[in-house]
Structure 1
Amino acid sequence: MWTRKLIELTGWKPLGIAVDWAEFEGELGVALPADYKELCEVFGGGVFSDSVYFLGRVEDRAFDLPAQWRVFLSVDRDSTYGDVSAVDPYAIYAPGGKGLVPWGSTEWADAYYWLVDAERPGDWPVLARAEDGAWHRYDMSTSEFLYRVLADAGFSPFGVARHDLGTTFDPASGDPCDGRPG
């Protein structure tokens, strides 16, 4: 339902990307949320409203969820600066544990994650950090959260609709078959 609302909101033509999730889900040790996988198959990865960055499963490493999660995990595990985490008081999810998996951000330094617990593999709450560093938990799907960010000006502090940026999507790949209506 929420993915359909995002398609209508952006005027996007679904790409129907076939994604083999098995390898990455095997690496994570948990299955990704079904609605997120649907979003990736429809949009790929890219930028909504020129300001909301969505990580999908694409060749462009900057918008590829597995590539970005691996970088975050590597940095989080780096002990060069002691036991400090960029996502304090949390940690980046490591297989079999509990932590955050990044899936989006904004140009204003907002960051969107899932709080993943290997002992609760079907539970994927959205944890969002505002530019001021405050954490907010949302017990809703990824697609609902993204829709509210883009369409609900009152979705504080994350609603970008109040900035009147329009509701567009630009794919990461730069592919001429970019899903825009012809």
Structure 2
Amino acid sequence: MSELTGWEPLGISVDWTAIEGELGVPLPADYKELYEAFGSGVFSDSLYFLGRDEGSAFDLLTQWRVSLSVDQDSKLGNVSAVEPYAIYAPGGKGLVEWGSTEWADEYFWLIDAERPGEYPVLARSNDIGGWHRYDMSTSEFLYRVLADADFQPFGLAQYDLGARFMPGAGAPFDGQAL
């Protein structure tokens, strides 16, 4: 990804043990490497990459906690915003969002506590509906979205937005492009 975006890896230090302890499962190794290199923020002015920036809109755990709370709220009935799935709850099976686009595309891992180490990417597009499963790493999926115009329906390269990265607010460079 650094070659694609021209971004110099930041080498961010993260307490992954605490994060994974709250989730009850390890996160994908390549995702952790991506975050340590980039931090959270926006690729190509439109793809939002979540990381560990507590209190920020780009914080993976904050977003997961809110989604889980809504998904488990009995006042809303048995309907989930991620039907036919559910938001991942520790020890169970479900989705954890790690990215989205300004066009309401959403990118999740399907996490199963009984199968740690398996992280298929599930994605859906607001325009098209339905879920798409990708048995590839987070970094491969992200690369394909940013660089492969034929990666339909999610390829952003077709829009010629360029492959650049802008850190999110609360990230090490506080939203300033480098």
For Structure 1 versus Structure 2, the TM-score category normalised by the shorter chain is over 0.9
| Equivalent residue for 2:133, pick from 133, 137, 148 | 137
Tell whether 2:108 aligns with 1:108: no
1:37 to 16, 28, 32: 32
CA contact (8 A) 1:102 1:112 kept: yes
Residue 57 of structure 2 aligns to a residue whose secondary structure is helix
Choose from 71, 83, 86 the match for 1:88.
Answer: 83
Q: Secondary structure at the match of 1:61?
A: coil
Does residue 78 of structure 1 match 2:73?
A: yes
Q: CA deviation at 1:59?
A: 3.5
Q: Does 1:146 align with 2:142?
A: yes
Superposed displacement of residue 42, structure 1: 0.4
Provide the rounded CA distance (Å) in 2 between the counterparts of 1:178 and 1:31.
Answer: 30
- The alignment's C-alpha RMSD in Å is 1.5
Q: Corresponding residue for 2:50? A: 55
Moved segments of 4+, more than 2 Å: 176-180
Using the alignment, how far apart are the partners of 1:23 and 1:176 within structure 2?
A: 23
Quote the residue 2:162 is aligned against.
166
Q: For each residue in 1:85-125, what CA deviation from the matched residue of structure 2 results, as whole angstroms up to 9, or x when unmatched?
A: 00000000000000000000001111000000000011000
130-139 or 149-158, which deviates more: 130-139
> Is 1:25–2:20 an aligned residue pair?
yes
Deviation at 1:71, TM superposition (A): 0.7
**8 Å CA contact 1:99, 1:117 repeated in 2:** yes
Q: 2:61 aligns with which of 39, 59, 66?
A: 66
Moved more, 126-135 or 46-55: 126-135
Deviation of 1:176 (Å): 6.5
Structure 2: runs of 5 or more not aligned: none
Please tell me whether residue 10 in structure 1 is matched to residue 18 in structure 2: no
Instruction: List runs of 5+ in structure 1 lacking aligned partners.
Output: 1-5
State the Cα distance separating 1:81 from its structure 2 match. 2.1
- Kept in 2, the 8 Å contact 1:13–1:179? The answer is no
Q: Is the 8 A contact 1:12 1:179 kept in 2?
A: no
Percent identity between matched residues is: 71
How many residue pairs align between the two structures? 175
Contact 2:35/2:51 (8 A) holds in 1:
yes
